[in-house]
A and B are shown apart, each in its own frame.
Chain A
Amino acid sequence: MDTVYILITGFLSVVLINNLVLTKFLGICPYLGVSGRIDMAFGMGLAVTFVMTLSGTLTWLIDHMILMPLGLEVTRYVCFILVIASAVQLVEMYLRKFFPPLYESFGIFLPLITTNCAILGLCLFLNLWGTESLLEAVVLSVGGGIGFTMAICIMAGIRENLMMVDVPEPLQGAPITLITAGILSLAFMGFAGII
């Protein structure tokens, strides 16, 4: 029962309270770049969730099975980035083969998932939070991805409505998006007490 409890609280914590985008500032580039339309935002969120689950699990395994027993923690960052780059390559090939329209619409942002801070950030946080079991690592990785998808979809919804609004000229584009993100992050602070 204890493990189930830990898993559920861990999942909720990474989705709502420690949301990677709104409290840890990870993955801001796609968050500002791809959040113009809700369907693209959702597709991006799914791709990131997939890569995050894959790379979070793999890096945890590599870290605990290979690097720690051999005392090679120094090479951690190099290994992590290699795993992430290969996972992104895999997703890219899969999308190009089976979902060409989605692949076209992502354009440059798909290879840029490699340099999405949210993914490397999650791999590092898994290590920092002292994740002890593989199951926990998987649950936290999925949670991180879902948290990202949720944040980017909320943002896309708001931005679709912002199109109709008369925004002061200097604030148009990135500034108003950042201010909206600030208000969203304020809202998410309300979750802080629930666990």
Chain B
Amino acid sequence: MTTNPDGQASNYTKTLLAGLWRENPVFRLLLGMCPTLAVTAAVKPALTMGCCVIFVLVCSNIMVSLMRNLLKPHLRILMFTLTISTFVTIADLLLKAFQPAMSEALGPYVPLIIVNCVIICRAEACASKNPMLTSIIDAFGMGIGFTLTLCVLAGVREVIGTGKFFDIRVMPDAFVPWAALTMPVGAFLTLGFLLAAANIISKKHS
């Protein structure tokens, strides 16, 4: 590892940016598909979900990074899930207290963050091997990448499915909304085509 401060800083930027595209959890690694499909009928719940995931990801990465030297290999996953479920409980209670309507709308998908593979993957791949600062930066990069992906998917579905964006009408009156896109069918189809688009773009780059 380089010791000069410039090299260190550029390393951190690289870690932060990796989550946005090169290692984007949804498009590139296919992780955390359940919330991606379930809460993206509109942008607002998708954004709320993204914020919850960032909170849990950062907190659990900090905790795992702090206890990384104490972990026993065979109890590792159990410790990860216990840590994560504690923070998810906190996030759930906060959401219930400050955003009751949103908490109602997201329903069981907030507690389901516990089994979101993105968080366990980052705990395993990054936080259990790296010091705290790197883990926090990695968590932010991954969390923001995840949230952006959710918002793109939700944006496409909301604009075409209801003609609105963030509850504001953006399409002309003559536009007939494709209601199917707000249903489960739309989630699968939109994500399928977005993944294909991501494949084409990454192929062009390389």
Contact = CB atoms under 8 A, between A and B. Distances in A.
Interface of A: 22-29, 32, 74-78, 81-82, 85, 111, 114-117, 120-121, 124-125, 128, 169-171, 174-179, 181-183, 185-186, 189
Interface stretch (B2-10, B12-20, B75-83): B75-83
A186 B192 CA distance: 15
Contacts of B115: 81, 114-117, 120
A28 B192 CA distance: 13
Interface in B48-94: 77-78, 81-82, 85-86, 88-89, 92-93
A113 to B, nearest CB: 10
B114 A28 contact: no
B30 interface: yes
Interface of B is mostly: helix
B1 interface: no
Interface of B: 30-31, 33-34, 37-38, 77-78, 81-82, 85-86, 88-89, 92-93, 107-108, 111-112, 114-117, 120, 180, 183-189, 191-193, 195-197, 199-200, 203
Contacts of A175: 192-193, 195-196, 199
Given A28-B33, A115-B81, A179-B193, A120 B114 contact: yes
Given A25-B34, A78-B86, A115 B108 contact: no
A24 B184 CA distance: 8
Contacts of A177: 192
Contact of A170 (B81, B85, B92, B196): B196
B112 A120 contact: yes
14 contacts: A26-B34, A77-B85, A115-B117, A121-B108, A128-B107, A169-B199, A170-B200, A170-B203, A175-B192, A175-B195, A177-B192, A179-B189, A182-B185, A185-B185
Contacts of B89: 74-78
A189 B38 contact: no
A189 B183 contact: yes
A27 B37 CA distance: 11
A169 B200 CA distance: 9
A131 B192 CA distance: 35
Contacts of A85: 77-78, 81
B84 to A, nearest CB: 8
Contact of B81 (A23, A32, A114, A124): A114
A171 B184 CA distance: 20
B140 to A, nearest CB: 22
A124 B37 CA distance: 18
Contacts of A182: 184-189, 192
Nearest to B186: A182
B195 A117 contact: no
Contacts of B180: 186
A181 B188 contact: yes
Nearest to B80: A115
Given A74-B93, A121-B112, A29 B189 contact: no
Nearest to A171: B196
A76 B112 CA distance: 12
Nearest to B121: A115
A25 B33 contact: yes
Contact of B184 (A25, A114, A120, A128): A25
